[in-house]
Each structure stands twice: as structure tokens, then as C-alpha cells.
Amino acid sequence: MAAAARFASVALLGLAIAAGAVSPAHAGSRGDVPPPDVQRAFDEEAIPFIEATASGEGGSPSVFEDITGIANITEVHMFSADYVNGRPTDTPYLPSGEWIATIMADFVAIGTVRVWTPTGGDPQMAGFDGDGELGGKLPDAAGIDYIEDPRIGASYAASGDTIGPFDERAAAELPEPMSLDDFQAILFARVGQGGATADAGPGAGLLIGAFTLALGVGVAVVVSARVRARRAATGSSPAGSGTAPPVSR
């Protein structure tokens, strides 16, 4: 049911965008096209970084040795401190300085990889994981603003004045799309002043990256078995054959 709610949410937001019923995003420009330096980091650094890191422990085989592409580069947003703390604001969420993309192996999403853009500095690889479910959902982020709340590990989809769930954890709190004004009261009750924390702040996703890096490597054997099973069933060619999708948005 939660997954159904997420897909319904994204569909409703898409219809609203197509009908012109929503206003431009609060956070400014939507991250449909990453800056050239971010694109370059995903193009040139992501796969070597993942493979080198994943094979760093004892040299055991890893699903991340089978990577054939990086896709669906998406900007990560975070809720602003004013929004979390129940104060009137025109910017309920802001770019976090982080970007996330799907790790692909023979057209199968096997995880996600992140790039962090420090102020005044060059983009840096920020970690990766074996969350193929989230990686497979990132194409749904096209045309909306993708928001993460690392306090509960939830992801949301926002457009104009509307917000909806992007994953099952968000759907547990927000079963269907509602206005950002209405959702502010829900968020404030959970983590606002007097709650666990006031603001995760830009780069908070780095904590997720650090934690899920170990998780991603740990589940590599299971995911690898699934990828290889799919290859056996479809007859798809191995990594490096030139049949995989290129790094793209």
C-alpha cells in the first residue's frame, strides 16, 4: 500500500505540473541538469571510486565490479530550519549541495552513489550504497524536487506548493500529497523545536552515505546473485561490453 501511495503521489504531481496547476518550486531552479563539474564527477570518478572502495576489503568479489553505468543524476534537497521549526517561510526546502544517482548493472539498478559540492570547492565523491530500490525509483524524480529527511531516512517529492511521498517511509507519514503548508505542521510535531533536532542542514546526506557504504558492500553478494541470475535469463552481455546505458540525467 505504501508503494502504491508513492506512485500515486508522483503521478498526481505530474498531472498537476502538466496542467499548470502548480507554481515554480520554492527552492529555485529544479535540478534537472547537473552543473558540468557535477556531471564530470559522476562521469569520470564515480565508477572507479565505487570499484576501488568495494574491492578494498580482502579483494572478495563484489556486485559493484559489474557496474555498467551511472544514471538518473538527481539534486538532493533538505527541509529548511524555518520550515522544520514551524516559522513562516518562502523556502520550505533548499538544495543540500548533494547529488544522487543510480548505479546500474546491465540495466538493473543495484544502488546509489552521491557527489557532494562544498561551497567554493570541487565536487567530491560522498559515498555509495546497495539500495537498488531507491536507485530504481530515481527516474521518478524527473520534473519534481527530491527531498531527503535523514532523521527518519525518508524521501519526498515536491512541486510548487505540493509535497508527496517518494518512498515507503515517507508514505507512512504522508500517505498522499498535501500542501507544503499543511505538511509543515506534521513535520514540526515530529522534529521541530522541542523535538529531536531542528535542522539536518546541507550535507546531512553524507551521514547516510557513510552508514550505507558498509551496508551496500555487505549486501553485495545477494545483489550480485540477482544480477547474474538476470543475465543468465536474458542473455545480456557482461560489464564493459558497450551495451549499458551511458552516464546520463
Q: How many CB atoms lie within 10 A of CB 158?
A: 26
Of residues 58 and 170, which shows the higher confidence score? 170
- Alpha-carbon torsion angle 89, 11, 28, 111, nearest 10: 110
Query: What pLDDT digit, counting tens, does each position of 132-160 carry?
Result: 999 999 999 999 999 999 999 999 999 99
Of residues 62 and 88, which shows the higher confidence score? 88
Query: What pLDDT digit, counting tens, does each position of 215-229 carry?
Result: 444 433 333 333 334
Cα–Cα distances (Å) from 51 to 14, 60, 61, 63, 231, in that order, read 36, 12, 10, 9, 20
Task: Return the pLDDT at 57.
Answer: 53
Instruction: Work out the percent of the chain whose per-residue pLDDT is above 90.
Output: 53
Domain boundaries, the chain: 2-234
Query: What pLDDT digit, counting tens, does each position of 6-47 carry?
Result: 333 344 444 333 333 333 334 334 446 899 999 999 999 999
pTM strictly above 0.85? no
| Cα distance between residue 45 and residue 33, in whole Å | 18
Mean pLDDT of the chain: 73
